[in-house]
Amino acid sequence: MRFDEFVGAEMAGLGRFAGALTGDADAAEDVLAEALFACYRHWRRVSRAANPRAYVRRVIVNTYLDAGRRESRRRTSPTGDAGVVDRVQEESTGRVDDRLAVGRLLGRLTPAQRAAVVLTYYDDLDAPAVAEIMGCTPGTVRSHLSHARAVLRLEPDPRRDAEVVPDED
Amino acid sequence: MRIDQLRDELGSHPADPRRVQLRLRSLRARRLRYRAVISVIALVVVLVAVAALGGLRRSAGSSSEGGSGAPNFTYACGTISLSEALAADDLSNGASIIVGRGHLTGVVRNAPIDGGGYRQFVVDEVRVLAGPALTTRTAWIAETWEATPLPATVNGGTRAPGATWSVDGSFFGEWWPKNAADKSVLPMLNIQPYQDGLVIFTRRACVDVSGVPNIPYSGTFSELPGEDSNRYARDYPVRAVKLADIVALLHTIQQTSSAGAGCPENRASPPVPTSRAAPRHS
């Protein structure tokens, strides 16, 4: 498949995925364009991958994580530190109904935690698949999800309860 | 927070596909421009390198043909006109412009520095068109020593031919006398074929003859043994100029030179410093 054909067929889904990762349409467009451009430059290799769609998503995630790292170097206030997790856990009994509040809580996640959340709860991927895209171990993914669930005060997901157990590592 | 709330929120900021496409197109265009710029820079670097190589060859050729202070115009490679070559390299620097007939003796001598070869050539008949009279009839012709191929021409040629002259021995040439300052530098001779009143310029001469009437020419010439110059000469345009036109050109140059005597800015540039030594007496 040619690059332009792939982009034409997948753009809508990729746009939603990038938007879920960044939480901001403008940032999503930047990340997605940059990621697609990277794929374009190496399209021969990408198109030969077993699953080009997963490969492109991996590039998008990496681009998003790199952008997060660049951003964190520019800023001094960490967003996903243990203090935040602790405070959220103290309030974990309250339900968050307000959409803005949901957005604010998502904003407290680290990029890696958010990526794990998006791939897990938005793309419905299991931990090994998420780990493959994020380039880490399933245990690390579960760890990210555990912290993210605490920050988000996420209700238990019956389908995933068995999966989202923090690893010992 | 419920899962459906989370999904709603995650799906509420999708990237606009059109804007992503525009941004992507912009990045691709920028990459194309970047590659174009890189290509141009690379091309410029190559051209500069080729030009520098040409300059080195020219300066080395000057040395090989004339020894110290005795440059030639054979490696100007078309960037210098015939009149400029004659004025700058010959008449201003003590060379004699001649037509004549001669032959190789078979004697070969190597330059002491770079090992380039020189063939002894004896002039049997000579007519001096400009410059001082000859003090000897024996001179040396430099072998073609361009081991490095030249850029390909439209005809596919990659190497300049060596010295050629007419099959009956007739030639047009520049004769560089023995160097006055360095007695070990032998007399040198650059020759082109001369026949039927025409001086034939192969790429060996490397001068631009477009400033004088000229015609295309094809023919077979005498050449230095082993150089295959007739074959290489055919890879490049070969032009013929009437000797009468060259004589007229020489007169013009001499008149201009006389008028400009004492005005250094009216004179041709001094020869390029040389790096290849002419053959010397051992």
* Model pLDDT for residues A11-40, shown as the tens digit of each residue: 999 999 999 999 888 999 999 999 998 898
- Among A79, A70, A20, A163, CA closest to B6: A20
Q: How many inter-chain contacts (A to B, CB under 8 Å) are there?
A: 101
Task: Report the pLDDT value the prediction gives residue A82, as an integer from 0 to 100.
Answer: 46
Supply A112's token pair.
């890696």
Residue A42 in contact with partner chain B when CB distance is under 8 A: no
- Whether A89 shows a pLDDT value over 60: the answer reads no
In the predicted model, what is the mean pLDDT of chain B? Answer: 74
Tokens of B279: 């053959």
Q: Which residue of B has its CA nearest to A153?
A: B1
So what's the pLDDT on residue B103? 95
What whole-number distance in Å separates Cα of residue A139 and Cα of residue B49? 57
Residues linked to residue B241 through DSSP beta bridges, in sequence order: B199
Q: What would the pLDDT profile of B140-193 be if each residue is shown by its tens digit?
A: 887 765 544 555 554 555 566 788 999 999 999 988 887 655 555 678 888 999
| pLDDT > 90? residue B49 | no
pLDDT at B197 over 90: yes
Average pLDDT over residues A46-55: 85
A7 to chain B nearest CA, in Å? 9
pLDDT in the model for residue B68: 37
The DSSP code for A37 is H
Q: In the structure, what pLDDT confidence band is assigned to residue A98 with cuts at 50, 70 and 90?
A: low
pLDDT digits (tens, 9 = 90+) for A101-141: 788 888 888 888 999 999 998 888 888 999 988 888 888 88
Q: How far apart are the C-alpha atoms of B264 and A20, rounded to whole Å?
A: 78
Q: Is the pLDDT of residue B59 over 90?
A: no
Q: Nearest Cβ partner of A29 from B8, B16, B28?
A: B16
Of B10, B19, B28, the CB nearest to A122: B10
Q: Which run of H or E residues covers position B21? A: helix B17-66
pLDDT of A119 reads 92
What is the rounded CA–CA span in Å between residue B190 and residue A22? 76
Contact call for A40 and B3, based on CB within 8 A: no
Nearest-neighbour CA in chain A from B31: distance (Å): 9
Q: What value, to the nearest 5°, has the Cα angle with vertex A110 and ends A153 and A122?
A: 60
Highest mean pLDDT among B40-54, B57-71, B197-211, B263-277: B197-211
Q: Where are the alpha helices (DSSP H) in B67-155?
A: 82-85
d(CA A79, CA B24): 30
Task: Say whether B13 and A20 touch across the interface (CB within 8 A).
Answer: yes
pLDDT, mean of residues B198-225 = 88
A11 touches B: beta carbon within 8 Å: yes
The partner residue sitting opposite B24, judged by closest CB among A33, A105, A154, is A33
3-state SS of chain B: helix, strand, coil percent to 5?
Answer: 35, 25, 45
The per-residue pLDDT for B264 is: 41
Give pTM, 2 decimals. 0.43
With an 8 Å Cβ cutoff, are A40 and B7 in contact? no
Minimal C-alpha gap between A109 and chain B (Å): 13
> Which range (A14-23, A79-88, B131-140) has the least confidence?
A79-88
